[in-house]
Each structure stands twice: as C-alpha cells, then as structure tokens.
Chain A
Amino acid sequence: MSLPFLDEFRQGAHLRALMEKLNERAGELARPVRIMEVCGTHTMAISRHGIRQALPESIQLISGPGCPVCVTANADIDRFLEISLIPGVIVTTFGDMLRVPGTRMGLAQARGNGAQVQIVYSTLDALKIARENPDAAVVFFGVGFETTAPTVAATMIEAHENGIDNFLVLSAHKVVPPALEALCNTPGLAVDAFLCPGHVSAIIGPEAYEPVADAFGIPCVIAGFEPADILQSMIMICDQMTSGRAEVELQYTRGVRPGGNPAAMAIMQKVFQPADAEWRGLGTIPASGLAIREEFSAHDAAQRYDVDVSYSREPAGCLCGAILTGIKTPRDCPLFDKGCTPDHPIGPCMVSSEGACSAYHQYEI
C-alpha cells in the first residue's frame, strides 16, 4: 500500500495558487464572511496547516460543535467514570477520552484508583477483550457521530448474534443535522456559511444539509480534509456568497456520494433509535442522540448500571460550551493557556485531538 495522493494534495506551489485564487474571490465579497468549520478534524487541519493565518481579512473561520468528545456532556462522562469504578467491569474507549476531565476525576485518575481501563483503536478490539474476559463486563464508551456509530452498531450486532453478553455499550452517540439546526437557532450566532464534515457526509449524504441551507439561507459546502480541499471549499463558499446562492455543494467528491452510505445507515438504525441528547454548549437537542433499541438492551450499559451522576456540573470558568457554538474562540477563554493546558486540562476542548482549544494551543498560540 502506498499513499501517493498525499504528495498531490500537499504541493506547496499548488496550495499557494489556491490561496491566491481564494484571495481574489474574497476581494469580490460584499462584506466579510464568517465560515464555521463544523468538524473537529477540519479544525485540526486548519490549525495544523496554518490556514487561518494565511486567510484574507474578509474571511474568518470559526470552530463548531463537531468534536464528538468535546460535545459530550459531563453527565455522560461522569456516568462512564462511575461505571469504570464498579468491580468486575473493564471499560474500553478510544484514547482521547483518557485525559478528559469529568466532574470529580478523569479516566486516567480512575485508572490510578484501580479502574480497569483499556484503550482501543476499534470496537472490535473491545469485543475481543470481552471474548477473552468472560467473567468481566466489558463496557465500551460510544462517543461519536454518524461516522462512528455504524461500526459500534455492527459490533453490537456481532456480540448479540454470538451471545457475547458481557459486551456492553454506553451510548453517547450523536447525529449532526439536528445540531446544525439548533445552532442556526442560537441567538447571537453569526455564521454566514458552513464547511460541512466530509466523513459524516460520506454516511448521511449531502442531502442531509438541505433543510439547513433552505430554511436558514446558509451555504453548505462538504469539504475533504487536506489543505487543498479546505481552500477549494472556501472558494466555493465565496462564489455562493457573491452570487447570492445558499446551496449544499460537494467539494469532497472522492469521499462522498449522493445518498451517502445507506448500508451503514441501515446498520446504525437497526441498533439505535433517535433520542433527545444533551450537548455541551448547545443543551438538550430533540432527536439528536442515539439510544440503544430494546432488542439490544442486553448490551446497553445505561440500563444495566444505574449510577448516580446528579453531582455532574460543567467546569467553572470554562468556555468550552461557547467555543463549541462559535460564539467565543479559544483565545477568549480566561483559562486558555493559564489554568487550562494540554497537560492540565480543565475542559474537553483542550484534550481531544479534534478540540478547538487543543488545536489552537498546539499550533497557533
């Protein structure tokens, strides 16, 4: 296997030519535009490649609610931490979650206090741990959007069909379109266009954004993750703004097909059903979460473990909520790089590999 495409997408001369084109288009704009990159992977790419610093003054990029770890409410994190402390439980999660602070402690501290925590790269690894430890209950923390939920669902189906009853999932999964709609209804939000997530769109399809583009008159361009993709998508947004259009357009044609991935959606819907969910920063959004269906309830950690997390609260002084809705930027937070650093994080946005504060701190401070 080789990845020759990387070189094509990362040629300096090509990128600088695209930037020049973007500068030209930005010059034709009637007024400055604020573009929200919805996805945390875009936030990271923008910081990592120095795109924000290279932008013309009339274009501002602001980060949105697309970092799954960041939007997970503290109550969900605390619930997972409480479950991790139950004897006989092995909790499994993606690496990002290890350092995310809960109300009383983080997973790393829970591990120090005796919790059995295993970091996995895939839900199949978690299922393997369940097979190898039949006497333990293995709980996977399901955090993520439509990109992650189908693989979790497929693993649950496999566990269900093979009678691996000690594999459980605590689902804090969320879906993107209701959040975008809620965001558009947020008072004080000034977003002129959305840079939409490439990976999520590969599953849900470009059509999923049409209600937002139509109802709120906001251009939506689905972008890939290379710097060239992001620049080209911003050029497309400028063109829409200049010509007075507000449409869903697909830049990431090599990754996203019209209609998305119906097979993945079907698997997701077989296991999960829409449920109200609490988002950090956005509050409770109707039908924006994914609850485990009755048929799979034997694998639902929320049903098996009734833990008390009434003590949950958001960290004092942390602006993660406002940052996730684009109302504030990481630099606006009084804790940024003062009380809150990657080594001593207070809010999740400083920890997650897709978090805005983490991206700013790592690449832009």
Chain B
Amino acid sequence: MKSEDRILLAHGSGGRLSRELVESVFGKIMSNPILDRMDDAATLKLEGRLAFTIDSHVVSPIFFPGGDIGRLSLTGTVNDLAMMGAIPLYISAGFIIEEGFRLRDLEIIAGSLQAAALEAAVQVVAGDTKVVGRGAADGIFITTCGLGSIPQGIMLSGSGAIPGDQIIVSGTIGDHGAAILSHREGIEFDAELKSDCAPLGALVGAMIEASPNIHVLRDPTRGGVAATLNEIAYASGVDIEINEEKIPYRSEVRGTCELLGLDPLILANEGKLVAFVAGSDSEIVLETMRKHTFGSEATVIGMVQNQASSRPRVYARTLLGSRRIISMPTGEQLPRIC
C-alpha cells in the first residue's frame, strides 16, 4: 500500500485488502511477540488483582496541538488504569474508519499510538479494524481496552477521601480542553496552547511507592476538575474546599476561557491527576511528584472536610476570601473533546 492511498470499504471486509492493511500498518508499526501471532485473541499470563477498562475516542479535530487521536486513545486508557493504582500492561485497540480516510493519516495515528505505548511501557496485543461508508463516521474513531495489574496492598477508589486529606493536582489545569477549543475556534496566542495528553503510569508508580496513604487518584478528563471533585465528594460523603488562588493555570488557558466564556475548572485534562493524600504524607508525595516530568508543577489546591450540610459540597475559597460553590457541570458538555 502507498501512503497516498485512501481507505476503502474493502479494507474492512475481512478479505485480502483487510489483511494487507493490518499487516502493512498495524502489524508493522505495533509489532510485538503477542500481536505478531495474529490469532483471534491474545493469550496473556497474569496474576493477582487486575484492573480492566475501556474508553472510546472521538475527538475533533483528530490532529490537535500537543497530540492526536492515536496518542489520546492510548493515554486515556492507560491513565484510567493508573488511577486505580494499577501498572498498565496490555492494550487492545478497535479502529472505526470512514471510507476515504487517508492512509498516511492512519499511519501517523498508529505511529503516535505506538509511541505513546512505548512511553507508557505497555504493549498493544489485540486490535480490530472496521471501515464504514462515507458520512457514517467522522474520519476515525478509536476504542481502546486496557489491562493492568494492581500491586499488593493498593486499594484506591473515589469513595476513599477522608476529612483532613490534602488535595494535590499534578500541574496546570484545562490545557487539553483549551487547546482543542482554541484550535477549533481559531484563537491564536503568542505561545501555542498544547494539549497535556500524557501517560501517567510512571508518575503514579512513584507516588504509590512514596506513600501508602494516598486515598484517591482521578484523572480529571471530561467535566474537568469541577466534575472530578464533585464525584469524589459524593462518593466519599465529604465536603471539599479548594483555594482559587492556588489553582495552577496557564495564562493562555485563562485567556481562552475568558474569550469563550468558560470556566477552566470544567475543561478536560488528559495528562493530569488529582490526588487525595493523608495530610501527614502530602509533603513527601508532592516532592515525589515534582521530580517527575508530568508532575513538575504539582501543587496542593485544597483539603477534605466533614460533610456540613444535607449533601456533599465542593467549595472554592475565592480571591476575596469568601466561599462559593463549585457545582457539577450541567447541560451539553463541550462535544467531542476526547
């Protein structure tokens, strides 16, 4: 197949062209001993407790500053595993491709998925390709499943937050959402706004090693930090208070939000995590995170309190020193952000 070729319906038919596509693109780019067998299913040997997850990716545009749908579909699933404290190991990927999609673009996307897999130290061990007629999909959609193993003694859950926990974010928030939106709306800044899309398994591994008292980890993707904190407050039956002055933003992200009338707290992140850590261990966890590439700007933004009213609440201490509510984002979320 030549790079200038386009994907045809026959490439998803299961026949000769399908085989050609799988061999010349996926088999070549993602080659590893398990995938190379090209059997109906990958066979794996695993022990202990496992984490297993799935995520579909429909981001528009498929190429965006800081990444593309390939990298995003790998990191999204790897990060979901990591948030359970699991060591991400194996990935399967399903591609739904619109007829007429450029082969060159597919190669780039598969390449960046594989590059992210290497970065995250996982293997793509199974895959599937379907081609649909023009208009039945928008370019390409990718679904990935992930399998990871949970080290002994690790028990993380959104319901684990305890009053007194310090809340740490691993870096600036809203980068992914703002990058996608400003790209879509044609808003340009002096410095290009990039998605933060990154695999967080290694960062989480280091954090877990540094402290046995991490209670909750979450990656604030769709709905952003606002949705994540509300979910955790509800699941744990606690109040949360964060300090607005402590929230790290890039100035371009804030600029985009001002122009589009959005709150950075509801923007998606794809390479950030929120950690709830026992107060006594917050310093050591913070120190560990800051040594890591994807946690160098980690900072404490707030803490967990006892639930004071009839329902769990998330508050922000404002710049004025007063308190306001951070509510669960409602209505139509920004579509196709990941």
Contact = CB atoms under 8 A, between A and B. Distances in A.
* B is a partner of A: yes
Interface of A: 1-4, 6-7, 10-12, 15-16, 19, 47-54, 95, 98-99, 121, 227, 342-343, 353, 361-365
Which DSSP category, helix, strand, loop or mixed, fits chain A's interface? helix
Contacts of A95: 332
Contact of B258 (A3, A12, A343): A3
- Quick one: which of A7, A12, A343 has the most chain B CB within 10 A? A12
Contacts of B252: 2
Contacts of A15: 319-320
In which size bucket is the chain B interface?
20 to 34
A98 B324 contact: no
B325 A363 contact: yes
B324 A47 contact: yes
27 contacts: A1-B187, A1-B189, A2-B190, A2-B252, A3-B251, A4-B251, A7-B251, A11-B319, A12-B321, A15-B319, A19-B321, A49-B319, A50-B318, A50-B322, A50-B324, A51-B320, A51-B322, A54-B320, A54-B321, A98-B332, A99-B331, A227-B320, A342-B330, A363-B324, A364-B324, A364-B325, A365-B327
Interface string B268-307: 0000000000000000000000000000000000000000
A227 B190 contact: no
Given A53-B322, A54-B320, A54-B322, A362 B327 contact: yes
- Quick one: which of A49, A50, A95, A121 has the most chain B CB within 10 A? A50
B188 interface: yes
Nearest to A341: B330
A287 B22 CA distance: 69
Nearest to A49: B318
A7 B253 CA distance: 13
Contacts of A53: 322-324
A66 B13 CA distance: 58
Given A343-B330, A353-B261, A363-B327, A3 B322 contact: no
B231 to A, nearest CB: 16
A362 B320 contact: no
Which DSSP category, helix, strand, loop or mixed, fits chain B's interface? loop
Interface of B: 185, 187-191, 245, 251-252, 254-255, 258, 261, 263, 316, 318-325, 327, 330-332
- Quick one: which of A2, A16, A51, A364 has the most chain B CB within 10 A? A2
Given A15-B320, A53-B322, A363-B325, A1 B254 contact: no
Contacts of B255: 1-3, 6
Contacts of B191: 2
B324 A16 contact: no
Contact of A6 (B251, B324, B331): B251
A3 B250 CA distance: 11
Contacts of B188: 1
B65 to A, nearest CB: 15
B257 to A, nearest CB: 10
Nearest to A344: B330
Given A3-B251, A353-B261, A362 B319 contact: no
